[in-house]
Amino acid sequence: MIPAARRGSPGADRRGTHRRGAGHASCHHGEILQGVFLDAAGRRCAGLVTLPMSGPGSRAEFTRRPGTPPERLTVRPGDRTKAARAAALAVEECARRCGERPCGGELRVSGDIPVGLGMGSSTSDVIAVVRAVAASYGLRLPPAAVARLAVRAELACDPLMLGARPVLFAQREGRVLEVLGHRLPPLVVVGCALGGGAPVDTLSLPAPVHDDHDVRAFERLRVLLRRAVATGDAALLGRVATASARHGQRLLRHPEFDALVGIARRLGAVGVQIAHSGSVAGLLLDPAAPGLRHRVRGCVRALESDGIPTTRTFTTFPAAPGLPDPADLPNFPTTKESPSGPAHRGGHRPTGPDTPRRPARLPAL
């Protein structure tokens, strides 16, 4: 059961009025599975399962000004249009829950998620903002309410408000179609960026059309992914992710896709995953297989030899007995990144023909 909003104490002034709040949200590393699925009523829904990633994220600070009109809302940086919408919607929601009038305030957003790679940068901003506004009212909104506000703010959102729990999520409706399990199987991910890390012009892509055959294929992958999560089967998850990435090639047409799959096959990776709305990708390895460090190094060398820039190696598990220490893996980030970071250099402008096609600052990943 999802908990109701709870009162907290952050940002309280001497009179007990909550005025300031802070929020944070993480990112993801693209999708494991994305397509069209059937909900409990048999209705078709666009859905996805993301690959969680710790490290980069968005931070927001909100100071509300009781007694000011709600339209008096300032946002820094000024180009965060989705964050601004999220703040206004969250103020309206939280004021209603507290029996108060909506008011204006000041919002500041920062982060270190590169834009355009398909890592959920806009959703991370929006969720951090909603959490900051809620904290300024002394509330903690339940995930379902955060998801609903996020969809209203940006039309579609990623399931970052749900943490690392693997779910099939209807991104345009902000609802969970299925909880697949408690956690993903242990994986080591060797990250990279296709297309040199240039933003994907998602607005120029044709709208995907899925027939009954496609829906049946996605439903079969859903069943396999459910089984992979239930049994901790990294190899089966890799098969699902690769099949989903191959299906996404119909629209994305990454020229490096065959090379990526070839590297995975040669070096014993269980599969590949690719963001369906960006250029970030990963080779998926089973940490229980022998020679892990050697295989990770081989993947990094092979990617760079084929002109595919590597980003970072990360895992779906913390350090634990019986599993390798993530910090011992090659290409694993060992230094703490700057909180300000090279965040959102393009703001939330949609990528399009006029978007600068420079490579993303990949070390920031």
Question: For residue 165, what is the domain's CATH number?
Answer: 3.30.230.120
- In this prediction, residues 104-118 reach a mean pLDDT of 92
Alpha helices in the chain, H assignment, sequence order: 81-98, 121-136, 143-154, 212-231, 234-252, 257-266, 292-305
- In this prediction, residues 2-31 reach a mean pLDDT of 68
Number of domains in the chain: 1
Please provide the average confidence, as pLDDT, over all residues in the chain.
85
Question: 321 lies in a domain?
Answer: yes
The Cα-based distances of 185 to 22, 173, 215, 322, 323 in angstroms read: 32, 27, 25, 14, 12
Amino acid, single-letter form, for residue 279: S
pLDDT bucket at 190, cuts 50 / 70 / 90:
very high
Question: 296 lies in a domain?
Answer: yes
Q: What is the pLDDT of residue 18?
A: 53
pLDDT bucket at 116, cuts 50 / 70 / 90:
confident
- In this prediction, residues 187-216 reach a mean pLDDT of 83
Q: What angle do CA 100, 104, 106 make, to 5 degrees?
A: 130
Percent of all residues in the chain with a pLDDT value above 90, rounded to a whole number: 72
* Full residue range of the structural domain in which residue 117 is found: 6-364
Alpha-carbon distance of 240 to 231, in angstroms, equals: 14
Question: 204 lies in a domain?
Answer: yes
**Lowest mean pLDDT across 78-82, 127-131, 141-145:** 78-82
Question: 230 lies in a domain?
Answer: yes
Of 202 and 128, more confident: 128
Q: What is the pLDDT of residue 320?
A: 57
Q: What is the pLDDT of residue 209?
A: 81
Alpha-carbon distance of 360 to 198, in angstroms, equals: 6
pLDDT digits (tens, 9 = 90+) for 84-97: 999 999 999 999 99
| Predicted model pTM | 0.84
**Lowest mean pLDDT across 23-37, 171-185, 339-353:** 339-353
- In this prediction, residues 283-288 reach a mean pLDDT of 96
- In this prediction, residues 124-141 reach a mean pLDDT of 97
Q: What is the pLDDT of residue 114?
A: 86
Q: What is the pLDDT of residue 317?
A: 84
Residue 201 has pLDDT above 80, yes or no: no
Residue 357 has pLDDT above 60, yes or no: no
**What secondary structure, in 3-state letters, does 273-336 show?**
EECCCCCEEEEEECCCCCCHHHHHHHHHHHHHHCCCCEEEEEECCCCCCCCCCHHHCCCCCCCC
Alpha-carbon distance of 166 to 224, in angstroms, equals: 14
Q: What is the pLDDT of residue 327?
A: 67
Residue 323 has pLDDT above 70, yes or no: no
- In this prediction, residues 278-298 reach a mean pLDDT of 94
Question: 1 lies in a domain?
Answer: no
pLDDT bucket at 16, cuts 50 / 70 / 90:
very low
Question: 320 lies in a domain?
Answer: yes
**Lowest mean pLDDT across 109-118, 173-182, 291-300:** 109-118
The Cα-based distances of 264 to 46, 130, 212, 271 in angstroms read: 28, 39, 31, 6
Residue 9 has pLDDT above 70, yes or no: no
